[in-house]
Amino acid sequence: MDRREILDELKKVLTPYTENKELLAGITEQTNLIHDLKINSANLVDIIIDAESKYDIEIDLDSAEKMTDIKNCIDVILEKMNHKA
């Protein structure tokens, strides 16, 4: 799975937590979940749980703390998927 595929899948994971769905159409790796998508910090935990389920990975606390923008989310997901393989 490459970065583009993960980005496309992340849009689906983020959809229930993003009030303004139009913002999702333009996300890039530089998009910040809290500032750009207006996702509250409590929902970040739900997003991490959803990502763990979606990709069948475990995200530790240190990695979870990095997941504030799309680039870091993709990096963590790829790292965990590669580590599992």
Q: 35-77, pLDDT tens digit by residue?
A: 999 999 899 999 999 999 999 999 999 999 999 999 999 999 9
Say what the pLDDT of residue 17 is.
Answer: 95
What CA–CA distance (Å, rounded) separates 57 from 59?
Answer: 6
What CA–CA distance (Å, rounded) separates 7 from 29?
Answer: 8
What CA–CA distance (Å, rounded) separates 15 from 17?
Answer: 5
- Say what the pTM is: 0.92
Domains and CATH numbers, the chain: 3-84 (1.10.1200.10)
Residues 58, 52 contacting (CB under 8 angstroms): yes
